[in-house]
Chains A and B, each alone.
Chain A
Amino acid sequence: MKTPLGLSLALTLIGMAGRPAFAQTAAPSVPRFEAAAGAQFVGSSSLGSREANLTTPTGGMLRFFSTSSTLRPAAGFEGRLGVRVARSLDVEAFGAYSKPSLQTHIANDFENAAATDASETVKQYVVGGSVLWYLPRKGEPALRLFAIGGAAFLRQLHNGNTYAVNGRQFEFGAGVKYPLATTRSKKNNRVRIFGIRADGRVQVRVDGATLDGSAHTGPALSAMGFIRF
């Protein structure tokens, strides 16, 4: 059958234009966004040591007593919002809250007072961003391993919010995600993945959040449920 040239071109153009639309309906969309929330465990972290000294007649130091401060382990909450920016790379914004105890061990008193631990409770808020990189994998294993690193602003509120200290926190570590269920919307063919995630990180705190101004490290673990959409 002979087709007029004009009609043939028109059909070709229509066909080309229609191909992507057909592809979208044929294959499910790959989820780009992820929201996660769960529990966090922040391990013990040294905040530094400091001696209370008296000045001697020669200008030296006489130890009055010594102190060593620690942010004690605490459980808290953590939430993360991520977006896929490359095939194996997510960027995340995160926030966390915990209520650890600030404990100072006091010892070596000049007049031999019994050593003691003095403490108070601190409310700790962390807001920051991180980059999450999925390790290469073979095939389609359910577990996805990732490495993670980030930086955050840290705010500690002492004694009923009467005193606030700001600092910075850097963290790096690794984790794993495990999908539990996948759903697909009949309406728009979108896929949602539900799963669990576990992270282990090393946190490095600097600035005001440490008592001696030096950087101090501590571990953190988190277990969260996530939805990828």
Chain B
Amino acid sequence: MIAGRGNRLRRTGRFHPASISRMGALVLSAVLVMPPPASAYLKFGVPVNGRQVTLKWPQTPVRYFVSARSSVSGVGVVDFEGAVGRAFARWEAVPTASIAYSYGGLTLARPGDDDGSSTLGFENRPELDRVLASTSFFIDDTNGTLIESDIFFNSTFQWSVSANGETGRFDLESIAVHEIGHFSGLGHSALGETESNQTGGRRVLGAEAVMFPIAFASGSTAGRGLKADDIAGISDIYPTGDFSDAGSLSGRVTRDGQGLFGAHITAFDPATGTIVGGFTLTTRGEFSIGGLSPGPKVVRVEPLDDADIDSFFDSSTVDVDFRVLLFDRLIVVPRGGDSGGVELPVVRK
């Protein structure tokens, strides 16, 4: 979900709340469901028979449709088809991921309709004054696989499909790239820095993942391109053989010897300049960042303070009372293997 008001936009971690279960399917409508610890970034997980299963499409290509009603000021249906087509193509082009999509054409259905078809389109939702777009899911609760996923873009806002963006209008392609990440099973990334503004919102100063929960300001097209964090995430869910070289970095974040939940860890590769992030996902402070290029990594830990915590987790359990840590060891990620557990001790603010 992407939320905003004027130039103060944020994407929340909440999913579309209005979906209804059908025929043994489970509708994912909560805050992020935590995946098992062995994951990077955030993948969606669903409980199946008492265990967490990574949410994903069981087979590809994933067929999607565009609502024939998808027309707003400045964006015709054909423009809409083109913009979301380019957004799907960006995810499909990741060489280390096998996800693929196919366009099924126009439909009279609306996003959110429980019809077995994944539909994208505009919806007028003025009450969601910070929501730019939202993705909902229908899930087979027997195995945790996706049955249907719909994306609506809030026509309350002004949209653009201009190649270079338009002042005062949100770039449809950028927002579609983010929502298609959700559509494919990815949660939010915390790789970004923001500042608070006078109205209580946040302004993005910089982000290094299209899955960062807060959108760039209107007029920006900088959110169209996938980053290393997005590529690692989608490749982790739908790996190809080329992904077998990727390794992982795992360990614990502790304060006074106790594990911290919800700490944000980044792994920076000084050889490539890429950054991939992850979170501690247990009360023992355990984390595992997958999809990393082999080699030494610079590790940084920071509290989750650049977006609403409920964009990621249940805020009552996330501990943000610690200082940013630049770890004093380079952690080597082996080719196709794991770094081995490393303890990252942080101190209170």
Spell out A's residues near B (CB within 8 Å). 48, 50-59, 61-62, 64-65, 67, 69, 102, 104, 106, 109-120, 158-159, 162-163, 165, 211-213
- Is the pair A62, B330 in contact by a Cβ cutoff of 8 Å? no
- With A50-B273, A52-B275, A104-B330 as contacts: A57 and B191 at CB distance below 8 Å: no
- Is the pair A64, B208 in contact by a Cβ cutoff of 8 Å? yes
| Interface residue ranges of B295-349 to A (CB < 8 Å) | 295-296, 298-300, 302, 323-335, 337, 339
Q: Which residues of A lie under 8 Å from residue B328 when comparing CB positions?
A: 116-119
- Is the pair A54, B270 in contact by a Cβ cutoff of 8 Å? no
Interface centre among B204, B296, B300, B333 (most CB of A within 10 A): B296
B80 within 8 A of A: no
- Is the pair B222, A118 in contact by a Cβ cutoff of 8 Å? no
A120 vs B334: C-alpha distance in the bound complex, in angstroms? 14
B190 to chain A, nearest CB (A): 12
B159 within 8 A of A: no
- The chain B residue sitting closest to A120, CB to CB, is B330
B293 to chain A, nearest CB (A): 11
- Is the pair B327, A109 in contact by a Cβ cutoff of 8 Å? no
A158 vs B21: C-alpha distance in the bound complex, in angstroms? 51
- Is the pair A212, B227 in contact by a Cβ cutoff of 8 Å? no
Interface centre among A62, A114, A163 (most CB of B within 10 A): A163
Q: Which residues of A lie under 8 Å from residue B298 when comparing CB positions?
A: 52, 65, 67, 104, 106, 118
- Is the pair A162, B208 in contact by a Cβ cutoff of 8 Å? no
- The chain B residue sitting closest to A115, CB to CB, is B326
Q: Which residues of A lie under 8 Å from residue B337 when comparing CB positions?
A: 162
- Is the pair B227, A116 in contact by a Cβ cutoff of 8 Å? no
B107 within 8 A of A: no
- Is the pair A165, B222 in contact by a Cβ cutoff of 8 Å? no
- The chain A residue sitting closest to B221, CB to CB, is A59
A158 vs B227: C-alpha distance in the bound complex, in angstroms? 27
B339 to chain A, nearest CB (A): 8
Interface centre among A53, A113, A213 (most CB of B within 10 A): A113
Q: Which residues of B lie under 8 Å from residue A109 when comparing CB positions?
A: 300, 324, 326
- Is the pair A55, B334 in contact by a Cβ cutoff of 8 Å? no
Spell out B's residues near A (CB within 8 Å). 191-193, 204-208, 216-217, 220-222, 227, 266, 268, 270-271, 273, 275, 294-296, 298-300, 302, 323-335, 337, 339
A111 vs B207: C-alpha distance in the bound complex, in angstroms? 14
- Contact pick for A111, options B275, B324, B327, CB 8 Å: B324
- Is the pair A102, B330 in contact by a Cβ cutoff of 8 Å? yes
A65 vs B325: C-alpha distance in the bound complex, in angstroms? 12
- Is the pair B192, A50 in contact by a Cβ cutoff of 8 Å? no
A159 vs B205: C-alpha distance in the bound complex, in angstroms? 36
A67 vs B328: C-alpha distance in the bound complex, in angstroms? 12
- Contact pick for B294, options A52, A113, A114, A163, CB 8 Å: A163
- With A104-B270, A120-B330 as contacts: A56 and B205 at CB distance below 8 Å: yes
- Contact pick for A54, options B207, B332, B334, CB 8 Å: B207
B168 to chain A, nearest CB (A): 14
- The chain A residue sitting closest to B204, CB to CB, is A57
- Is the pair B330, A54 in contact by a Cβ cutoff of 8 Å? no
- With A110-B193, A120-B330 as contacts: A52 and B273 at CB distance below 8 Å: yes
- Is the pair B333, A163 in contact by a Cβ cutoff of 8 Å? yes
Q: Which residues of B lie under 8 Å from residue A120 when comparing CB positions?
A: 296, 329-332
A227 to chain B, nearest CB (A): 40
A160 vs B298: C-alpha distance in the bound complex, in angstroms? 18
- Is the pair A62, B271 in contact by a Cβ cutoff of 8 Å? no
B333 to chain A, nearest CB (A): 7
Q: Which residues of A lie under 8 Å from residue B339 when comparing CB positions?
A: 159
- Is the pair B271, A118 in contact by a Cβ cutoff of 8 Å? no
- With A57-B217, A69-B270, A120-B329 as contacts: A162 and B275 at CB distance below 8 Å: no
- With A56-B205, A120-B332, A162-B337 as contacts: A102 and B296 at CB distance below 8 Å: yes
- Is the pair A159, B332 in contact by a Cβ cutoff of 8 Å? yes
Q: Which residues of B lie under 8 Å from residue A165 when comparing CB positions?
A: 295
- The chain B residue sitting closest to A106, CB to CB, is B326
- Is the pair A64, B206 in contact by a Cβ cutoff of 8 Å? yes
Can you list 14 contacts pairing A with B, beta carbon distance less than 8 Å? Answer: A48-B270, A52-B266, A52-B273, A109-B326, A115-B326, A116-B326, A116-B327, A117-B328, A118-B328, A118-B330, A120-B296, A159-B332, A162-B332, A212-B271
